[in-house]
Amino acid sequence: MKQNKYDESGFFANYSQMPRSIGGLDAAGEWTAFRALLPELKDKRVLDLGCGFGWHCRYAREKQARSVVGVDLSENMLERARAMTNDLQIEYRRLAIEDIDFTEGEFDVVISSLALHYVEHFDSICRQIYGYLAPGGTFVLSVEHPIFTALAAQDWHYDSQGAKLHWPVDNYHLEGPRQARFLDNDVIKYHRNVSSYVNALIESGFSLTKMSELQPTDDMLASNPAWEEETRRPMFLLLAAVKQ
């Protein structure tokens, strides 16, 4: 299934009001952890899958990447990305992630931020990315954590006074689509367990170099008390892998 919720006016309007949509990478809670997984970007050819407003594309060029291709299915997303970009070395293409078609060894770095949990066949995408990377190339991705996606409700269990008691996890090993509620809309996300993400990378030929479940630091908790929730259950899974 190739979803394009972001070209629905109401959904896009809601997304545009999110802190990360307004404030960019520094307003994205997982950005510090994601950035730490990135390799040296200078002179690298970068592909961003699910590029959205193009924040990661522009960051790569700030770090002197040679060229960047950003891919997204949403014309709304790409229109905003192009309006915010003044750089001939960044190219935006309207494509579903499932439809990408590049040449062997075309890129040195492939990144994807919070997009691949919308893709049904993660293993297939991994094999494609492996082929598109040059030897020694790096693949860095973030997805919603499987503990977060296991139940479609994606919400806490509350007591009678509304206090958050615990985060329910059920059907963890029952992988497949979940109809979740996001930005007041129904969206389809694909639940996979942690081992499925890791094994898909390994079986595609990658060597896993780092994994993060974004445990909040003391500084994060001090700057934003809302991070306390992330000490109780992980919301993000971040992975970095290399093509040997």
- Looking up tokens 């040195």, which residue turns up? 108
Cα separation, 24 vs 90, whole angstroms: 17
Cα separation, 9 vs 16, whole angstroms: 10
Q: Where are the alpha helices (DSSP H) in 5-65?
A: 9-16, 19-23, 31-37, 55-62
- Structure tokens of 159? 């007591």
How many CA atoms does the CB half-sphere of 20 hold within 13 Å?
13
For the chain (length 244 residues), average pLDDT per consecutive 10?
76 84 85 96 98 97 98 95 97 96 98 96 97 98 97 95 95 96 86 98 98 87 82 95 96
Would you state the pLDDT for residue 1? 47
**Contact between residue 97 and residue 71 where contact means Cβ atoms under 8 Å apart:** yes
Cα separation, 22 vs 207, whole angstroms: 35
Nearest in space to 185 (alpha carbons), one of 29, 3, 60, 2: 3
- The model's pTM is 0.93
